[in-house]
Chain A
Amino acid sequence: MTTEQATTPRTRYPRAQCEVSVALCTLNGSQWIEELLQSIAAQELLPDEIVIQDDCSEDDTVELIEKFADQAPFAIRLEVNQFRLGSTANFATALARCHGRFIALADQDDVWYPIKLRRLIDELELDPTVTMVFSDADLIGPDGQDLGQRLWDARLIGRTLRKRAVVPEELFARRALTTGCTMAVRRRAVAASLPFPEALENEAAPMRHDRWLSLVAASVGTVRALPESLLGFRVHPDQETGVLVGAQLTHALGRAASAVFIAPVGQSNESHLARANQLEAAAERANEMGDFEEALTLEAIAAHHRSRVQTSGSVLDRLRSIAEGVRVGAYGWDRLGMVAVAGDTVRSVRPGRGAQSEPAVHSAPALQGEPAPENQIEGS
């Protein structure tokens, strides 16, 4: 099942009217927003516009933006939502309003290094088949001090990304690897991603805007990972999306790993169905753009998620299905894939066990779905 029909044309995304847009979503960000905007104003390559979508801030975020707009060296196009949309839908709205040939995403609490935009845009200019570029970042504390750690390492994706100049759609289908504020996207990839399908907001396994954008960008073009740190990524208690560090991370990983094995079957099934719907929606977009091979890859991974839904059949049937998935490489060959195999095996043998421990699972980030905060350990 797909969320869209190929015969239903999507609303046309208008042609580019300028070179570089920055899409920024805000929500109660008065503590950090000025520093971010100043860092964008200090870019070696200035954007033509910042498109800001405020999601009903209750502090003075909007006033601070308006004050900045008076002396900004580029256009500030602020819009305040009438009701709260949530992060993913808010970014969809902001992206739809962007005029740029290239669109960089921003989070309200970060600090961009002066070279950030130029570096990302240069990489996009270099090769017109590249649809997205994203970088690493330095983690900084609430007061801006360097925490001595890189974002990719904190999200346990450094090894995966540093050995690849190009990140294929298959990897994005299996795992969230990008953080919106590190990326710049070519307009036609944004056009292919809009409107965001409803399937993204499924509570069982929500897919955030940055992973969706990456998935579509990789399906309709090439995504490059730059192992350079181009911004300070602020880690603080109030952030909606972020990373865990130190003991928090260790604890969350432990909970996530155990959730793989004890998650109730119903919850796991919902996650797989949600993910399958999302991947099929991405496959639809790829098909529409003529990227048939990439669409087939995504459809195959979606089909594997559906095959992991345990509805009936004997234990032997389920184990056979898992073995077949391993044989054809459907789980992938990385550690997360192996954990998923182990989790599926445990649930196949003891499908009812998890239902007894449901409350504990709900508070834990799950490898099968998207945890909050951030999707740093989210898996297949």
Chain B
Amino acid sequence: MLRKMKVMMVTDSLQVGGAEQVAVDIANSLDRDTHQVYFCATRTDGLLRSSLKSDVEIMVLERSATWDLLKLLAFGKYVRSEGIDVLHSHGRGTMRFIALCKALGIIQAQHVFHDHFGRLHLDRSAGPGMKVPLHHGVDAYIGVESRLCRWAIDTVGLPEAKVSLVRSGVDLERFSTAPAINLRDEFDLGEGNLVLLMVANFRPQKDHPTLFRAIAELAPAQQESIRLVVCGSTTADPAYFQGCMAMLERLKIDHLVRTIGVRNDAPSLMAGADAGVFSSKNESGPLVILEYKASRLPVVATETGEIAHAVKDEGVGILTEPRDYLALADGLAALLNMTAEERAAMGERGRQLVIEEFEQQVVVRQVEAIYDHLLGLSSQSSDSGKSNLANG
């Protein structure tokens, strides 16, 4: 009997974030009959540790710098001693770390890089610091959106055979079994209001101010009929967070908003909300839209990223142009004007769409096919990924 393929997910940290959640979801959903799963956070531990299945071997490297030689050696030693076959990195810093390990001959495992880069609109360049590790330290490139895949081929110059588009998926089980939290009681929101939930760390990319300004644009009666709960790290960028809080006061809507910090029970929060909102200015995913839909929430969000583009014509949410607070205000007003039945129907359509197109098992089979191809276990590459890329 053949031994199981040993796969290690590698991220910067186990703190809550889109890329980290994707890594955790893949780690949890790889086929256990054929895979043994490891997870390495090269810098810090975090709340997502508790989301990993109990059979996942976890290590936290606590490297202090990008090129922390001692940790590099310790990592290599562990990978060799465990006989890891595939290292699956998430995030560009982590990719460089592993590429360096490969370049130094510390490890020989196949390296799959999963690119979630969300600032391609600002930085389409690919200097030597990006090209060299991608060419010489990465065996397969996965982009979560077609723009990234095109960048990898056209700008970086990777051969098409190395590049696959794999959209993020969502583990429906997490959302089917999560008990609902009564947000009105938990956060003292009062009865009768529509509770909107935004799950996004306080980082500039998430563009909370556009949502705040949109709420401020609503008619006073509409404003008073909603409460917004914002779940996400408030310490990731303290200056940004403080700016957001000052803005809430300036707009005189601070009484409508609760910031609850980072949580590891997002599915339960979503189960207790009436609608999901998301105002990011630029995303490659964004995974949270799928999570809202998996939770049967009607959604008002900015149209950014592969997922938003993929679902925009499906009638499962109201999508508006990023950074346009007037358009987002119109979207919120449209949501408020819907009946409860209409909102529920929108949520149900969203859930159905996730089942059909974004279920985690669909995604993980694509990833497994890439592993198999790298290790010569399959003659075919990730055909689904390739065809998606061609269509994208």
Chain A positions near chain B (C-beta within 8 angstroms): 6-7, 15, 127-130, 165-166, 188, 220-222, 287, 289-293, 296
> Contact: A129 with B123, CB < 8 Å?
no
Among B121, B125, B244, B250, point to the contact of A129 (Cβ < 8 A): B121
Among B121, B208, B244, B247, point to the contact of A127 (Cβ < 8 A): B121
> Contact: A221 with B323, CB < 8 Å?
yes
A82 → B minimal CB distance (Å): 32
Indicate if B209 sits at the interface (CB-CB under 8 A): yes
> Contact: B281 with A129, CB < 8 Å?
yes
A199 to B323, CA, bound (A): 27
A29 → B minimal CB distance (Å): 35
B-side interface size class: 20 to 34
Q: What are 11 A-B pairs with beta-carbon distances under 8 A?
A: A128-B303, A128-B304, A128-B322, A165-B124, A220-B323, A289-B209, A290-B213, A292-B204, A292-B239, A293-B204, A293-B240
A129 to B321, CA, bound (A): 9
| A290 in contact with B321 given A6-B250, A15-B326, A222-B122 (CB within 8 Å) | no
User: A128-B304, A129-B121, A290-B210 known; 12 other A-B pairs, CB under 8 Å?
Assistant: A128-B303, A128-B324, A130-B121, A166-B123, A222-B121, A290-B207, A290-B209, A291-B209, A292-B204, A292-B239, A292-B243, A293-B204
Indicate if B371 sits at the interface (CB-CB under 8 A): no
A10 → B minimal CB distance (Å): 13
| A292 in contact with B125 given A129-B322, A221-B323 (CB within 8 Å) | no
> Contact: B324 with A188, CB < 8 Å?
yes
Residues on A with C-beta less than 8 A from B204 are 291-293
A291 to B237, CA, bound (A): 13
A165 to B239, CA, bound (A): 27
A221 to B281, CA, bound (A): 10
Residues on A with C-beta less than 8 A from B247 are 290
Residues on B with C-beta less than 8 A from A291 are 204, 209
Q: Per-residue CB proximity of B183-216 to A under 8 Å, as 1/0?
A: 0000000000000000000001001111011000
Residues on B with C-beta less than 8 A from A296 are 239
A7 to B250, CA, bound (A): 7
B195 → A minimal CB distance (Å): 23
| From B121, B281, B321, residue with most partner A Cβ within 10 Å | B121
Give the A-B pair count, Cβ closer than 8 A.
48
A296 to B207, CA, bound (A): 16
A291 to B123, CA, bound (A): 18
A65 → B minimal CB distance (Å): 32
Indicate if B282 sits at the interface (CB-CB under 8 A): yes
Residues on B with C-beta less than 8 A from A289 are 209, 213
Residues on B with C-beta less than 8 A from A6 are 250
Among B212, B240, B323, point to the contact of A292 (Cβ < 8 A): B240
Q: Per-residue CB proximity of B97-136 to A under 8 Å, as 1/0?
A: 0000000000000000000000001111100000000000
> Contact: A290 with B250, CB < 8 Å?
no
A129 to B121, CA, bound (A): 8
Residues on B with C-beta less than 8 A from A221 are 323
| From B124, B210, B323, residue with most partner A Cβ within 10 Å | B323
Residues on B with C-beta less than 8 A from A165 are 124-125
> Contact: A166 with B122, CB < 8 Å?
yes
| From A7, A188, A220, residue with most partner B Cβ within 10 Å | A188
A300 → B minimal CB distance (Å): 12
A7 to B247, CA, bound (A): 10
Q: Which residue of A lies closest to B242 (CB)?
A: A292
Residues on A with C-beta less than 8 A from B282 are 129
Q: Which residue of A lies closest to B237 (CB)?
A: A293
A332 to B292, CA, bound (A): 45
Residues on B with C-beta less than 8 A from A292 are 204, 239-240, 243
A287 to B250, CA, bound (A): 11
B387 → A minimal CB distance (Å): 24
A291 to B213, CA, bound (A): 12
A130 to B243, CA, bound (A): 22
Q: List B241-257 residues whose CB lies under 8 Å from chain A.
A: 243-244, 247, 250
Q: Per-residue CB proximity of B270-288 to A under 8 Å, as 1/0?
A: 0000000000011000000
> Contact: B323 with A129, CB < 8 Å?
yes
Q: Which residue of B lies closest to A131 (CB)?
A: B323
| A188 in contact with B323 given A7-B250, A290-B244 (CB within 8 Å) | yes
> Contact: B121 with A290, CB < 8 Å?
no
Residues on A with C-beta less than 8 A from B244 are 290
A15 to B330, CA, bound (A): 12
B240 → A minimal CB distance (Å): 6
Interface pairs A-B: 10 shortest CB-CB: A290-B209, A292-B243, A128-B321, A128-B322, A127-B121, A129-B121, A129-B281, A166-B122, A292-B240, A293-B204
Residues on B with C-beta less than 8 A from A7 are 250
> Contact: B250 with A293, CB < 8 Å?
no
Q: Which residue of A lies closest to B243 (CB)?
A: A292
> Contact: B243 with A287, CB < 8 Å?
yes
A298 → B minimal CB distance (Å): 14
A177 to B130, CA, bound (A): 29
Residues on B with C-beta less than 8 A from A128 are 303-304, 321-324
